Amino acid sequence: MAVTIKSARELELMREAGRILEKVHDELGKAIKPGISTKDVDTLGEKIIRDFGCTPSFLDYHGYPASICVSVNDEVVHGIPNKNHILQDGDIVSLDAGVIYKGYHSDAARTHAVGRVSDAAAKLMEVTKQSFFEGIKYAKAGYHLFDISNAIDAYVRPFGYGIVRDLVGHGIGSSLHEDPQVPNFRQIRRGIRLRPGMTLAIEPMINMGRFEVEWLDDDWTVVTKDGSLSAHYENTVLITDGEPEILTFNGGLNDR
Ligand code: MF3
Ligand code: CO
C-alpha cells in the first residue's frame, strides 16, 4: 500500500481526532492512582471516548478485547485490562489509546507513574518521552523517514536501554495502521522521503534492560524477555514543510 497524503479536509478531521485523544489521555492520567484496576482504566477510557462522540479504535481490532491497552511494568504494549490487576504504588503503567472521529484515526500512548516510583523508573519514562521529541526533529518534509528512527536510536542508546525492535510506529489516517512502518532503531537506509500531508504514529518503546520481547499466552500482551521495566510514548504527527504538527499533543494547551 502506498503512503497516503491527506487532503485539507482529512487533516481537519484528524486534528479533531487528535485533540479529542489528547483530552482522553489527560483524563486517564488524572485517574491513575494506586488501587485502581486496569479494567477500571479501560472502562473510564471507553466512556470518555464515546462521550466525545468517537469510537475506540482498538476495541475488537483483530480481536483485541478492550478500548485502552494498559501495560504495567515489564509489559511493553497491548496489556489486556483486568479487574483483578490493581495498580500498586511504584508501578509504571503505559496507556495506549486510539479514537475514530468521522472515519479518521488518532493514536497516542503515555506512560504514567503510579504513586511514587524509583528514580530509575522515572528516568526511563523521561528518556522514552524525550526520544519521541528527538525523533520528530526530523519529521519534516525534505528529511527521510529513517532519519526519525536514527535520531531516536542515537538519543536512547547512550542510556544503555533496550530499544524494542519487534514493534514499530506506522502511518495512520482512515485506517489505524497504514504504510509506512516507522522503526525506532537504527536503519542502514534513509527510507522514503517525507512529504507534507503524511501522518505518522511515532511510538518509541524502550526497555530498561535488553531489547528482546516476548508474547504472553493471551497472544496480546508483549513483555520484556528479561523482566525489566518498559515505557512507551506515542503521538500522531503531521508532516509539514516546517515544524511537525503533533496532533495528539499541544503541551497541555487543551486544558484551558
Ligand atoms: N497503538 C497501537 C499500535 O500502534 C495499537 C494497539 S493495537 C490493538 O499499534 F490491537 F490493541 F488495538
Ligand atoms: Co500506534
Tell me the per-residue pLDDT of 184-198, one tens digit each, with 9 for 90 and over: 999 999 999 999 999
Cell numbers representing residue 88 in the block: 500498586
Distance of CA 95 to the CA centre of its chain: 8
Domains and CATH numbers, the chain: 8-246 (3.90.230.10)
pLDDT of residue 199: 98
User: In terms of DSSP H, where are the helices of the chain?
Assistant: 8-31, 38-51, 119-135, 145-156
> How many A from CA of 39 to the centre of ligand 2?
21
CA angle 145, 57, 22 (to 5 degrees): 70
Residue nearest to atom 8 of ligand 1 (CA): 58
Whether residue 69 has its Cβ less than 6 Å from ligand 1: yes
Over residues 5-28, the pLDDT tens digits come to 999 999 999 999 999 999 999 999
pLDDT of residue 250: 81
Whether residue 181 has its Cβ less than 6 Å from ligand 1: no
pLDDT of residue 85: 98
Q: Is 36 helix (H, G, I), strand (E, B) or coil?
A: coil
Looking at per-residue confidence, does 256 or 117 come out higher?
Answer: 117
Contact predicate 93/85, CB 8 Å = no
Over residues 75-109, the pLDDT tens digits come to 999 999 999 999 999 999 999 999 999 999 999 99
pLDDT of residue 1: 75
**Its pTM surpasses 0.75:** yes
What's the one-letter identity of residue 92?
A: I
Q: Sign (positive/negative) of CA torsion 156, 159, 93, 220?
A: positive
Confidence of residue 256 (pLDDT cuts 50, 70, 90): very low
Over residues 150-178, the pLDDT tens digits come to 999 999 999 999 999 999 999 999 999 99
Q: Which of 42, 57, 64 is the best mutation target for the ligand 1 pocket, counting ligand atoms within 8 Å of the beta carbon and taking the most?
A: 64
> How many A from CA of 172 to the centre of ligand 2?
8
Confidence of residue 252 (pLDDT cuts 50, 70, 90): low
Whether residue 78 has its Cβ less than 6 Å from ligand 1: yes
Confidence of residue 242 (pLDDT cuts 50, 70, 90): very high
Over residues 46-73, the pLDDT tens digits come to 999 999 999 999 999 999 999 999 999 9
Q: Which of 38, 42, 75, 96 is the best mutation target for the ligand 1 pocket, counting ligand atoms within 8 Å of the beta carbon and taking the most?
A: 96
pLDDT of residue 253: 60
DSSP 160-179: TPEEP-SS-EEE-SSSSSEE
> How many A from CA of 78 to the centre of ligand 1?
7
Over residues 207-237, the pLDDT tens digits come to 999 999 999 999 999 999 999 999 999 999 9
Contact predicate 129/103, CB 8 Å = no
